[in-house]
Structure 1
């Protein structure tokens, strides 16, 4: 089998010319494109790049939201052995400038006016051409429309360019969103992406009847790698342009496959529990149905057929509760995966109980991104699965996870020092802390750089503690602090609908802003934090809690593109509040001693 993506994709197109390849919602209808039409567009993009003089190894920027065009441009660039460089749709002119200059972009594909204007606002003397998918009035000379850019393919010229292709070619330079410093360009090879796709085939049965919902940003290594898997299997990929519409799109699209970050699963979990909280009868039925679902799952997992009585109960539980939650997820799934951040065990159990087991995996951009994953017949809740076939794991000092395998990056673009720091003797230093159990399953406990070291030298891993607190739906975000401080404290962002419900039940005065600043809310939050962390060792229990009422978004820099909280940013943004909290605690401590 070829280890170049385009050679494989050409075979898929030849075998499935009339099958649907891409789909996107336009108004009230689907715009669908067959594999043959998709292939023709890819060739026209490739010819446009040839006409522009893009050389093998030349870098091409992709700066647009998820859409069929994203994949056409991606595969069009790969067809002429160019290197796609994705940019997040939220990128600022400064970020664009850094990535475009660092990678040496000569052409940039953009979606609409907003993206075009941000590129034009950056100082990029080497950028020859901006190609726009949705043109607008007064674009200027440097900007050309996507349809005008595409050209009728000279197949001989395209074949000649591809004849030299190899699996060592770069399939992408992906800039890590990085929670600190300037993003670094991760060089991912064709053979790395294909090694992952082939490893998944040994555990998952994906057929051309399967179709996926693509709503995580394609500029992120996880969605990018997964979309490659989907399209190389001759499946249909449904693109979601605006991730905020994912709940309705799941129902409209009815996908059989989906890869997501925990946020989506958390939302479904919270919504389902909130709907059941209406009355005590509803709550009892809901809890009973989940228990029945869970026992059925246990039976299947241990290789037994559930008893007749259990199966009969499941039919009732399904009718009353479980099917409704599955329907909200767009029906049954062949693949339902989760990555990008830790998934809480109670959420994993919940989805298993409703008949939609989530396969949690682990990876990082530097591993293209897959390191380990759970599979339908080989999984363990609370872990991120077993290492990718062909890969190896090792636990270094301080518990850091090291990975070696066929999909480790070729290095950081133009940055040999950073590469040498990250890859030692072929082993990738992940920066994550964890352990491997006796069955070979990996568990992640925290990020190495997130480990809090208190003044007393105590090491505290914040993620498990934050997970405990977030199990209570009143908390939307929880950030544990305490690095280089005498003890740990907590910043929380409460969930507004739950604050409202509390206020109404307690007849609090005023409106939402008054409630967020009220003593009643603070006391309730503190009480719950104490209850949830009561069994932890003293050094891991927060000594004080403060409320943040600002939203956490990508735009304000408090969330990464995969919706992980940027701990350092939060601490810097609320520095005055944090300093004040520690000053008061110090005074209180002095009074008592």
Structure 2
């Protein structure tokens, strides 16, 4: 009886790595490092430097369009954000200081977020469903020196000299699986890797590329996946939805019939990305959320892992290193570079991932 129990325990923790045999979204710019993780080569040192180059290169282009149809050029956006950075500096915000950004989707959110980045600070982005008491808790837990939710600071234009790739860039507060909130730490390398992956997979380098914002900018899907790659590539983001509420895809297709709608999967812990479904494979894989891309690798955990079913594990250059101020959740969720998603999936021989039972958080 004891031997049987031990065998079951061994099976329950089996990890089976899964490769994407067909090679969709192959990116030759990623290579395996000594820690075993695939990483991008030749990234900019930090988010501020990447965006600064893009803003200078595309200063006359339209960077964003709000729900009322008002347009904002890169030059206008960068000038306003730099003045916010100067105002933050006047209020004592320094390198690595956390600042809560709490506005609905719009130009003010954009100025505030970029202003914190240009000041050398770390934007703290609350889950959009947070209550006022939860926002107060986030400000306290993150050690934020300031919360931006009203009039924006204004000062002499300022741009911090930049940070290192392994320094904290953004802190997303998300719901825990069992309730409550915790912060997901994304470094400059994490964010820049997400940007590179999305720009490459979605071919955002084409002139005139426009991205419709379908998620709140305070989420990784809204800012890391939709906003920042578009700005890095010199494209235009177009607001959709009221106060940052997610928009059903059937409404988007009706409003933007010529747009390309994509399906994928990602959470804040994976930098907002992870899986993407090739457009020409939607009919063949109607329930799949896609295949790994952007240097992401997947594995399965559980007794049926060798049969293609189990808990989805992810690792790659965009995967977070830990939770902020939450060592217990970090130990439970991150293991040797692998992020335990809590989602039960099936992965076929070509690497297509299909949900079986998704966690409820």
- TM-score scaled by length of structure 1: 0.49
Q: Does the alignment pair 1:43 with 2:119?
A: no
Residue aligning to 1:549: none
Say which of 238, 241, 248 aligns to 1:264.
248
Specify the SS of the correspondent of 1:54. coil
Q: Does the alignment pair 1:2 with 2:44?
A: yes
Residue aligning to 2:121: 82
- CA gap 1:3/1:388 in 2 versus in 1, 3 angstroms: farther
Residue aligning to 1:210: 209
Work out which of the two has the higher radius of gyration on C-alpha atoms and give 1 or 2.
1
Flag structure 2 segments of 5+ consecutive residues without an equivalent: 1-42, 304-309
Question: C-alpha distance in 1, partners of 2:101/2:214?
Answer: 16
1:183-208 CA distances to partner (integer Å, 9 max, x unpaired)?
A: 01111112112212212333322223
Say which of 242, 257, 265 aligns to 1:331.
257
1:427-472 CA distances to partner (integer Å, 9 max, x unpaired)?
A: 1110001121111111111125x5xxxxxxxxxxxxxxxxxxxxxx
- CA shift, 1:241, in A, is 6.2
Q: Does the alignment pair 1:166 with 2:164?
A: yes
Residue aligning to 1:367: 270
- CA gap 1:201/1:87 in 2 versus in 1, 3 angstroms: closer
1:262-288 CA distances to partner (integer Å, 9 max, x unpaired)?
A: x713x55xxxxxxxxxxxxxxxxxxxx
- CA shift, 1:90, in A, is 4.4
Residue aligning to 2:199: 201
- CA shift, 1:67, in A, is 0.5
Say which of 180, 187, 190 aligns to 1:189.
187
**Where does 1:46-445 land on structure 2 (aligned, <5 Å)?**
46-110=85-149, 132=150, 145-146=151-152, 149-153=153-157, 155=158, 158=159, 161-163=160-162, 165-178=163-176, 180-206=178-204, 207-225=206-224, 226-240=226-240, 242=242, 264-265=248-249, 268=251, 328-333=254-259, 335-336=260-261, 359-376=262-279, 380-397=285-302, 399-445=310-356
Q: Higher helix proportion, which one?
A: 1
Residue aligning to 1:523: none
- CA shift, 1:386, in A, is 1.1
The runs of 4+ residues in structure 1 deviating greater than 4 Å are none
Report how many aligned residue pairs link the two structures.
309
1:358-396 CA distances to partner (integer Å, 9 max, x unpaired)?
A: x21111211112111113356643211111232211101
Question: C-alpha distance in 1, partners of 2:175/2:326?
Answer: 16
- CA shift, 1:95, in A, is 0.7
Specify the SS of the correspondent of 1:66. coil
In angstroms, what is the RMSD of aligned CA positions?
A: 2.2
Residue aligning to 1:251: none
Specify the SS of the correspondent of 2:279. coil
Question: C-alpha distance in 2, partners of 1:7/1:377?
Answer: 36
1:309-345 CA distances to partner (integer Å, 9 max, x unpaired)?
A: xxxxxxxxxxxxxxxx95x232311x42xxxxxxxxx
Question: C-alpha distance in 2, partners of 1:369/1:362?
Answer: 8
Whether the 8 Å contact between 1:67 and 1:241 is mirrored in structure 2 is: no
- TM-score scaled by length of structure 2: 0.79
Say which of 53, 57, 61 aligns to 1:15.
57
Whether the 8 Å contact between 1:215 and 1:243 is mirrored in structure 2 is: no
Question: C-alpha distance in 1, partners of 2:281/2:86?
Answer: 45
Question: C-alpha distance in 1, partners of 2:241/2:145?
Answer: 26
Question: C-alpha distance in 1, partners of 2:243/2:169?
Answer: 25
- CA shift, 1:91, in A, is 2.8
- CA shift, 1:179, in A, is 5.2
Question: C-alpha distance in 2, partners of 1:25/1:90?
Answer: 21
- CA shift, 1:177, in A, is 2.7
1:457-501 CA distances to partner (integer Å, 9 max, x unpaired)?
A: xxxxxxxxxxxxxxxxxxxxxxxxxxxxxxxxxxxxxxxxxxxxx
- CA shift, 1:17, in A, is 1.1
- CA gap 1:360/1:240 in 2 versus in 1, 3 angstroms: closer
- CA shift, 1:168, in A, is 1.6
- CA gap 1:68/1:215 in 2 versus in 1, 3 angstroms: farther
Specify the SS of the correspondent of 2:50. helix
